[in-house]
Amino acid sequence: MSHTFSLKNVSKTYGDDTLFHDLSIDFKLNEQLGLIGMNGSGKSTLLKLIANKIEPDTGELITKTGLRFIYLSQEDRLNPDQTVEQLLYDSSKDSPFDDRERHKIVQKALGKGGFEDANMRVGNLSGGWKKKLAVTRALCCKPDILLLDEPTNHLDINGILWLEDILKSAQFSFIVVSHDRTFLENVCFNVMEIAKYYPAGYFKIAGQYKKFEKERQKFLIGQQKKQASLSSKMRREDEWLKQGAKARSTKAKYRIEQAQKLRMELYALKDRNKNTATMDIAFHATGRQTKKLLRAYHLKKSINDKELFSDITFELGPKVCLGVVGENGSGKSTFLSILEKKILPDEGKVQWAENLIVIGFHQSRSKLNPKLSLKEALNPGGGDSVNYKGRSIHIVTWAKRFLFMPDQLDMPVKRLSGGEKARITIANIMLSPCDILLLDEPTNDLDILSLEVLEDSIRQFPGAVVIVSHDRFLMDRVCHRILYLDPGSEAKFFKDFNQIMNHRLTLLEKPRKIKKTDRKKTNPPLSFSYKDKYELDHIEEEILKAEDKVQLLSDKIQEPEIMNTPEKMKHYCSMLKQAQEKSHHLYERWECLDTKKTKVNL
C-alpha cells in the first residue's frame, strides 16, 4: 500500500521539554487513524507538523505532491460577524472549484450540517454549533487528509453521533486526536499512541481501539517483565565484575563490553517504564452506613418558560452511580444544581439524609483562582503539607500524585492547561470527605490514562456518584443507570448507552405529523430555481439509496434470529415501514420537481 506522507527522524522541543525525538512514521493511503497520548505528549504538535503549521527542529515531512491537508484545531477561530453561509463560501474560495461547484458544495454542507438558518451570524451560535460549523468548514475545503484535534469538544451526544456518521462515510484520509474511546472505536481502523515509554516513541496497530487497548497492555507488561529479567541478569554481571575481572583475555574483554551494553539497555528500559506513571485518585467518603442517601420525587424544572425535564423520581444509596446524558441545553447541569441544593425544582422535592455532605466537580473549573500558584491551589489550607484521610502528606508528594513536578509548584494557575486544572479540582475534592459526588463533565481535558484511573476511583468510592458526561465508554463502565434528558420527549432511565441509542432510533422513526394549512387561492408565480435543479439532479441517487435500504431491511426480517425474537422483529418492521415511507416520499418529490421543470420550460 502506498504512503501518502512520512515523518523521517522528526524531533521537536519546547524549552527543556522534548516532545519527541527521531520520530519516523509512515502514513498509508486512505488511513483513518486515531491518535492518542497523555496530556503534553505532543499530539497537537504532531498534527501541526503534518499540516505544515510549524517546522520540526530536526527531520523532515515527505508528502505526495498535490495533497490537500486541512487542519482543524481545538480552538474554533471563526469570524463572529459573518453569517454561516458567508463563512463557508469564504473557506472554499481558495479551492480548485468554480463558483457553480462551490455553490453546490456549500449548499450540500449546510444541509449535512443541519444549519436551517444559513443567514444566522456566527457569533450567535452556541459552542456546540460553532464546533459543527468548524467541522463543516473543513469539509467544504474538500481535504485529501483531514487533521482533527479533539473535534468532540463542546459537542453533545447528537453532535458526536453526527460527526461519527461523517467520518464513517468519509472519502478522505483523516487523523483524529481524541480521548473519546467509543468515538475512536467507531470511526478509526488504526490507532496510534505517542509516548516516551515506547522504544520508537509511538505504538501503532491496525485495528480499532478495543484491540489497541489489549495490544498496548500486552506490550507494556512485556516491557516491565523484560526490565525485571535484565535487572536479574545485571545483578549477576555486577557480582562477576566485583570479583575484579580484568580484560586480560578476549573472552573477558567481550563479557565486560556486553555487561556495559546490558547496563545501558536496562537504564533505557527503566527510563521508559517510569513514564507510565498515572494519577492516583481515591475519593474520600465519610464512612456513614445510611442505606438511602438521597430521594427525589417527581422533579420538574423550566427555564424561561422552556421545560427542561419533568416527573423524575429516583433514589441514591452507597456504591450507586447514576449517569446523566442529553444534548446541550437539556438541563443536565440544572439537574445537578438541584441535587447540590443550589436551586429549587419547580415541582417535586428532594430528601437528603441528615447531615449529608455533597461535593460537586464543575466543568467550568470556575472555582480555581487564576492568580494562585499551583502550590496554593493544591493546598487551599496553606502550608507545606495537606491533610488526607487524617495523614499529613508533603505538598511535593501530593503534587506528584497528580503528575505535577516540583518545579511547577510556583507556576500560576492561569498558565496551566485544561487537563492540569482538572487534576487540581480532583485533588481538592479528594481532600474533603463526602457522601455524594456530583461530577459535571469530569472527563473534559483528561487524557485516556487519567480517564482509566478516574473510572476505577468512581467504582471504588463507597458513597454515591452522579456523573454528567458524553463519554459513552466511561458511562457504560461506571453507571448502574443512566438518565437520558431529551427536550422532545420525557426523561427516562436506561441501563446503558446501547439502550439509549435504540430509544433515540425509535424517536427518529416516529412519523412526523404534517400540519394542514389553508392554501391561498392565488398561487405564487411558478419558478424552477437553481436549488430545485440541484435537488432534481441528485434525487435519483437518493432514491436508489432508499430502495437499497428497503431491500436490506426486507432481507433482514427474514433472518431466523430476527423472526424468533419479537422485540427485534418489531424494531426492524418499524424501520422497514419508515424506509418505505421515505422511498415513497422521494418518488413523489421527484415527480413534483420533474413536473415543475416541464411546466416552467413550456
Burial class (CB in 10 A: 0-12, 13-18, 19+), 244: exposed
Q: Which residues contact 319 (CB under 8 A, 6 or more apart)?
A: 461, 462, 463, 464
CATH code assigned to 294-498 = 3.40.50.300
Q: In terms of C-beta density within 10 A (0-12 exposed, 13-18 middle, 19 or more buried), how is residue 397 classed?
A: exposed
C-alpha cell at 191: 490507532
Average confidence (pLDDT) over 395-403: 88
Tell me, rounded to whole angstroms, the distance of Cα 318 from its chain centroid: 29
- Other Cβ atoms less than 10 A from the Cβ of 250: the count is 8
Higher pLDDT, 348 or 14: 348
**What average pLDDT does the segment 475-489 reach?**
90
More confident call, 238 vs 311: 311
402-411 long-range Cβ contacts below 8 angstroms, 24+ apart? 402/279, 402/280, 402/378, 402/426, 402/427, 403/277, 403/278, 403/279, 404/374, 404/378, 408/374, 409/373, 409/374, 409/375, 409/378, 410/373, 410/374, 410/375, 411/373, 411/374
**Residue 511's pLDDT is what?**
52
175: buried, middle or exposed (CB in 10 Å: 19+, 13-18, 0-12)? buried
Cα→Cα distances 6→27, 28, 35, 452, Å = 6, 9, 15, 32
Give me the pLDDT at residue 552, please: 82
The answer to whether residues 220 and 193 touch, using CB atoms and an 8 Å cutoff, is: no
Owner of C-alpha cell 453561509: 85
- The answer to whether residue 298 scores a pLDDT higher than 70 is yes
For 130, phi and psi rounded to 5 degrees? Answer: -65, -40
Q: Say whether pLDDT at 525 is over 60.
A: no
Identify the band that residue 210 occupies on the pLDDT scale cut at 50, 70 and 90: very high
Q: Kind of pairing, strands 385-388 and 391-394? A: antiparallel
- pLDDT tens-digit map of 91-108: 777 667 777 788 888 888
Q: How far, in Å, CA of 388 to CA of 375, rounded? A: 16
| pLDDT 10s digits, 50-94 | 999 999 999 999 988 888 899 999 888 888 888 988 888 887 776
Q: Cβ(129)–Cβ(140) under 8 Å?
A: no
pLDDT of residue 48: 93
| Residue 321 predicted with pLDDT over 90 | yes
Same fold: 3-214 with 294-498: yes
In this predicted structure, the answer to whether residue 577 has a pLDDT above a threshold of 60 is yes
pLDDT digits (tens, 9 = 90+) for 549-563: 877 877 777 676 776
Residue 328 has pLDDT above 70, yes or no: yes
Second-level CATH architecture of 3-214: 3-Layer(aba) Sandwich (3.40)
Q: What is the mean pLDDT of residues 248-260?
A: 77
Q: Where are the domains of the chain?
A: 3-214, 218-276, 294-498, 530-601
Return the pLDDT at 510.
Answer: 60
pLDDT tens track for 16-57: 778 888 899 999 888 899 999 988 888 999 999 999 999 999
Q: Is 427's pLDDT higher than 90?
A: no
Short-list 553, 436, 401, 500, CA closest to 157: 500
Mean pLDDT across the stretch 290-301?
Answer: 92
CATH 3.40.50 assigned to 530-601? no
- Residue 602 pLDDT level (bands cut at 50, 70, 90): low
The pLDDT assigned to 335 comes to 94
Whole-number average pLDDT of the chain: 84
Q: Is the pLDDT score of 428 beyond 90?
A: no
User: Cα–Cα distance between 393 and 8 in angstroms, integer?
Assistant: 45
Structural contact between residues 7 and 59, judged by C-beta atoms closer than 8 angstroms: yes
The amino acid occupying position 226 is: K
Q: Across the strands, what pairs with 289? A: none
Highest mean pLDDT among 1-5, 27-31, 116-120, 207-211: 207-211
Identify the CA nearest to 444 among candidates 429, 426, 466, 463. 426
**Of 260-274, 315-329, 366-380, 564-578, which range is least confident?**
564-578
- List the one residue out of 387, 421, 386, 392 whose CA is nearest residue 404: 421
501 pLDDT higher than 90: no
pLDDT exceeds 60 at position 520: no
Decide: 511 and 525 in contact? Cβ < 8 Å: no
pLDDT at 268 over 90: no
Which set of grid coordinates corresponds to residue 374? 499551583
Q: Count CB neighbours of 151 within 10 A.
A: 27
Give the whole-angstrom CA distance, residue 599 versus residue 528: 9
β-bridge mates for residue 316, sequence order: 294
What was the pLDDT predicted at 401? 87
Q: What is the pLDDT of residue 436?
A: 93
pLDDT bin (cut points 50, 70, 90) of residue 114 is confident
DSSP 133-145: HHHHHHHHT--SE
**Partners of 366 in beta bridges:** none
pLDDT digits (tens, 9 = 90+) for 145-204: 999 999 988 788 888 999 999 999 888 999 999 999 999 999 999 999 998 889 888 999
- pLDDT beyond 90 at 10: yes
Q: Which three cell numbers stand for residue 470?
A: 458524553
pLDDT of 449 reads 84
